[in-house]
Chains A and B, each alone.
Chain A
Amino acid sequence: MKSPSRRTLALSAFGILFLAAFGWIVATQGPLAATKVTLAEARETRLARSLFGIATVEARRSHSIGPTLAGRVAQVLVDQGDAVKAGQLLAEMELVDMDARLAAGAASAAGAAQRAHAAEAALAESTSRAKLARNSADRYADLRKKNFVSQEAADAKAHEAAAAQSAREAAVAALAAAKADMQRAQSELVGTGKNRAHLRLVSPVDGVVTARLAEPGSTVVAGQAVVQVIDPASLWLRVRIDQGRSQGLAVGLPAEITLRSRPGEQFPGRIERVDWVGDAVTEERIANVVFDALPTGIAIGELAEVTLRLPAIENALAIPAAALQRQKNQSGVWQAKDGQARFLPITAGLISADGWVEIRQGLAAGDTVIVHSAKALADGSRIQPVDALK
């Protein structure tokens, strides 16, 4: 047997290369290929938790100032952006018949006072009359005893005295009525005066006008705002936080605020109030966050992102959140056992902001779990651990 020729050697080499290429394709692409995975160890770490919410800048107190009666706007003295003081006149409603009604009220009060005066005089007169009649009746009664006058004359005098007394009592009642009438007329006058005062719209606080909602000449109904005033120092954020992730939301939590107009900056703040009533439709909790120092140039209605820092959990046994999987309605992790994937049900707890999940039950420190995988794993899948998938 002669030694193999160069041609045979070349052909054999080619054949081996060829089969190797085929083998490589089958091993890396077919179902025989192992799934590449990355691994991580369960370890004790510090879980820094946070809540995230979307917020809008709002004024804590916004005063909608309008008339208490329907009417026409006479003048509006301020415009949007004007600073106003407490008690400053902002707008005035048209008086219409208000002054005439005041005059009528005053006149009617004066008339009532006069009538009361007349009733007083009438009372004095009837008092005097009653006194006279009583004296006269007493005298006749005395004379009757001595039989100087007839019984009839004495009876007539007694009747006169009783009638005069009744007339006096009527005069007392008339005086009380006249006095009450005078009081009513005066009250009416005061009320009309107050109504007139309400036509002057004054600012209840020191603040800034944020809206001028009606112009002179327009008619507004009772309660409709003509001018809106806010206190610029009272600006805060109304934060909406998903109910499912709102555990731990409490007053006083520190917050980091990013305004939409300044995406790179973070402003410190804290939760001032947590609403008892959440939004049942959007399934969100609502809280109010105040700035530690109010940034300049922010506008009401501006969107902001708020990150709330919850107290961290020290020394919690944790794994990367990506490792937490679900199989047949069970939470658990995949573990590498002899080159194969095995599912292990575990009980997971809280999740930190940087993606670590607390292990309540099922794993011990140092246990290895599969974090990332190139495809979905099944029990018994062949796996090949790598540093990173690419």
Chain B
Amino acid sequence: MINLASRDVLHGWGKFLFTGVGLGLLIGATLTMGGVFRGMVDDGQVLIDNSGADLWVVQQGTLGPYAEPSSLRDDVWRSIAGIKGVAETGNAAYLTIQMAHKGKDTRVMIVGIEVDRPNRPGAPPYLTAGRPILQGHYEAIADERAGLKLGERVKIRRHDHTVVGLTRRMVSSSGDPMIFVPLKDAQEIQFLKDNDALVNERARTAANPAFNRPGVPGLLEAAQASATQARSVNTVLVRLAPGADPTAVAGEIQRWKRLTAYTKAQMEDILIAKLIATSAKQIGMFLVILAIVTAAIVAFIIYTMTLAKVREIAVLKLIGAKNRIIAGMILQQALALGIIGFLVGRIAAGLWGPAFPKYVLLLPQDAVAGFAIVLTICALASSVAIRAALAIDPAEAIGG
């Protein structure tokens, strides 16, 4: 017994293969779109995971530090560190800036972390090269996507920072690479103004009679000095002691410290459900349409492939082939096409995925689901073709 389907495919294998590859590229585009969607969600997720925190303490009533601006005094951690269940606290400052480096503007997120000992909350959990920040000032760890090299000096606002370490997959919720710097530098970057603004601000204060009264020497200087302080951070990252209940500790902080505290689950809800919700839905919509289009095209291809073999099927019927054999041939061809398409698609997505500017995450479960969907669509599409094939009149073999 010879396999009719494979004999038929070998007969016109070039056409079959090109159809499969074309279909594969379409499936590849769909898989990539799914990967883009997963990547977006993952960007939000790694931001939460990489901070290494169990609780985020932010300004009262804000959704900070990632979704909304939040400003806290940098000594707030002292009162939080004393709460039962808190193992470690760490101040952190986040700021997205446009960084000019080697004549190219890159959008990066500056993350200020405490560096008095390694692995403080907020620090990157792993490095791909170099070492952690050891100096209290002017050192940086950059995400590889920022395009910086080890040992390079990069100017961020007023000061040059030396890149001492590189890391990977440390991005903001919008996919911008992170640059980690010591907290005090980040505070300066975020809260200290440029020279012109400082000079103007001093002149403005000096022109204010409330701060520049005759007979009160020193008042103006005191007012000037108090205006140039950078004593704020965006959030206090809290690590909990083993066995502490995050919700209970968060409740304690909210109630007695007059601050807002988010647990990991709440933070995920803010970042993934709220911050990237609209853009994720946008991509999701597009993914659904692309899937429908792919399904339609697969169905058309199989249908037309079958119709192109009207004469051959009629001959088969004429020589007494059973309907089961004809249906099997069409189904097998459709499934083969689906398998080739899926493999080509997965390879294509795997090859062009890393070239995307933002992260494309191809999950194995997505691939498996995609494979099942492709085969289902092929089977459904072949059923239409089988009906058409069975309706062919054997007389067509000789007449036509």
Contact = CB atoms under 8 A, between A and B. Distances in A.
B125 A321 contact: no
A52 B135 contact: yes
Contact of B343 (A22, A322, A324, A325): A22
Contact of B126 (A355, A357, A375): A375
A243 B114 CA distance: 12
B129 A243 contact: no
Contact of A54 (B134, B137, B168): B137
A261 interface: no
B10 interface: yes
A324 B119 contact: yes
Given A25-B346, A329-B88, A372-B127, A221 B118 contact: no
A224 B114 CA distance: 41
A245 B165 contact: no
B117 interface: yes
B44 interface: no
A313 to B, nearest CB: 15
Contacts of B165: 322
Nearest to B128: A389
Interface in B104-118: 114-118
A281 B75 contact: yes
A376 interface: yes
Interface string A122-155: 0000000000000000000000000000000000
B137 A324 contact: no
Nearest to A53: B136
A18 B344 CA distance: 8
Nearest to A326: B119
B370 interface: no
A377 B168 CA distance: 13
A96 B350 CA distance: 92
B362 interface: yes
Nearest to B73: A281
Given A377-B126, A388-B129, A329 B137 contact: no
Interface in B328-384: 343-344, 346-347, 350-351, 353, 362, 364, 367
Interface in A319-333: 320-322, 324-326, 328-329, 331
Interface in B229-256: 231, 239, 241-242
B136 A21 contact: no
B22 interface: no
Q: Please indicate which of the listed interface residues B128, B160, B362, B364 has the most CB atoms of chain A within 10 Å of its own CB.
A: B128
Contacts of A325: 119, 125-126
Given A242-B116, A322-B165, A329-B87, A52 B136 contact: yes
Contacts of A53: 136-137
B119 A25 contact: no
A22 B231 contact: no
Contacts of A189: none
B136 A241 contact: yes
A351 to B, nearest CB: 6
B183 to A, nearest CB: 9
B214 to A, nearest CB: 8
B38 interface: no
Instruction: Give the interface residue-count category, chain B.
Output: 35 or more
B114, B136, B364 — which one has the most chain A CB atoms within 10 A of its CB? B136
B215 interface: yes
Contacts of A21: 347
Contact of A244 (B52, B114, B351): B114
A29 interface: yes
Contacts of A373: 126-128
A355 B131 contact: yes
A262 interface: no
B126 A242 contact: no
A305 interface: yes
Contacts of A11: 10, 13
B241 to A, nearest CB: 7
Contacts of B177: none
Contact of B129 (A22, A245, A282, A372): A372
A350 B269 CA distance: 40
A30 B31 CA distance: 14
Contact of B136 (A245, A355, A388): A245
B303 interface: no
Contacts of A351: 118, 134
Nearest to B139: A52
Given A322-B131, A374-B128, A374-B168, A242 B88 contact: no
Contacts of B184: 242, 282
A375 B215 contact: no
A318 to B, nearest CB: 12
Nearest to B21: A18
Contacts of B241: 329
B127 A322 contact: yes
B145 interface: no
A22 B75 contact: no
A29 B39 CA distance: 14
Contacts of A18: 343-344, 347
A8 B7 CA distance: 12
Contacts of A326: 52, 119, 125
A244 B131 contact: no
A7 interface: yes
Interface centre among B52, B118, B351 (most CB of A within 10 A): B118
B10 A355 contact: no
Contacts of A305: 137-138
Interface in A198-222: 220-221
5 contacts: A53-B136, A221-B217, A325-B119, A329-B87, A375-B168
Interface of B: 10, 13, 49-50, 52, 75, 87-88, 114-119, 125-132, 134-138, 160, 164-165, 168-169, 184, 215, 217, 231, 239, 241-242, 343-344, 346-347, 350-351, 353, 362, 364, 367
User: What are the 10 closest A-B residue pairs judged by CB atoms, nearest first?
Assistant: A244-B116, A355-B131, A25-B350, A326-B119, A242-B136, A52-B135, A389-B128, A322-B127, A224-B217, A373-B126
